[in-house]
């Protein structure tokens, strides 16, 4: 018996090594890396992470609540609600949509950080030296937002509010002064 084992020792060692490699590949299989927002940038999520409701249904419930809560509010208040919605939604989506929701959440975090610091007053923001960044946030479409809104529109049949723009935040009848501060030209049909 010992001669049989001795003759096949090399084969047994090779088999043991192959099994060990197979087990390690399964155990140490690389998976998706989940990034967490830093505590400085994040708003406390309102949804529970230990829910029995499927993520798609949770996303739709969040979207419906967002639209309901945003109804009739000023654009900067909608932006605050949007920040919480997108931060919560990031945890509920996966795949390629995850990056879009994450980018949108980061947009609203930065938008609200600058805006809240200056009571969302475009003139105070410009005077505080953040006018250039504020203008970029308002003039450029935020990365990911249209895709994130489309995902919710398709999955939940809910049309989320669009991001704020300079025209929705600016005081009325101050287009010329606002253009001078931001360095942009405005055109209005009534002139």
CA-closest candidate to residue 50, choices 42, 60, 58 = 58
Domain ranges of the chain: 1-31, 55-182
| Cα 168 from Cα 143, distance rounded (Å) | 19
pTM of the model as a whole: 0.64
Please report, for residues 41, 50, 81, 185, the alpha-carbon distance to residue 92 in angstroms, rounded to integers and kept in the order given: 19, 12, 17, 41
pLDDT score for 63? 96
Sequential pLDDT tens for the chain (191 residues): 566 656 677 776 676 666 556 544 554 555 444 444 443 444 444 544 556 888 899 999 999 999 999 999 999 999 999 999 999 999 999 888 999 999 999 999 999 999 999 888 888 888 888 888 888 888 887 789 999 999 999 999 999 999 988 777 766 545 555 555 555 554 544 44
Would you tell me how many other CB atoms lie within 10 Å of the CB of residue 55? 14
| Cα 128 from Cα 112, distance rounded (Å) | 15
Whose structure tokens read 């930065």? 110
């Amino acid at each position: 018996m010992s001669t049989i084992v001795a003759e096949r020792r090399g084969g047994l060692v090779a088999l043991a090594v192959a099994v060990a490699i197979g087990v390690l590949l399964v155990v140490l299989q690389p998976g998706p890396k989940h990034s967490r927002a830093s505590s400085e940038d994040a708003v406390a999520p309102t949804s529970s992470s230990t829910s029995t409701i499927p993520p798609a249904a949770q996303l739709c419930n969040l979207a419906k609540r967002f639209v309901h809560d945003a109804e009739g509010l000023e654009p900067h208040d909608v932006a605050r609600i949007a920040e919480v919605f997108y931060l919560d939604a990031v945890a509920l989506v996966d795949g390629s949509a995850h990056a879009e929701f994450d980018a949108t959440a980061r947009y609203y975090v930065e938008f609200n950080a600058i805006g809240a610091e200056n009571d969302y007053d475009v003139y105070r923001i410009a005077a505080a030296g953040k006018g250039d960044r504020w203008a970029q946030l308002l003039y450029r479409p935020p990365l990911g937002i249209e895709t994130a809104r489309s995902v919710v529109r398709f999955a939940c049949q809910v049309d989320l509010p669009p991001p704020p723009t300079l025209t929705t935040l600016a005081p009325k009848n101050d287009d010329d002064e606002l253009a001078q501060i931001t360095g942009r030209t405005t055109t209005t049909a009534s002139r």
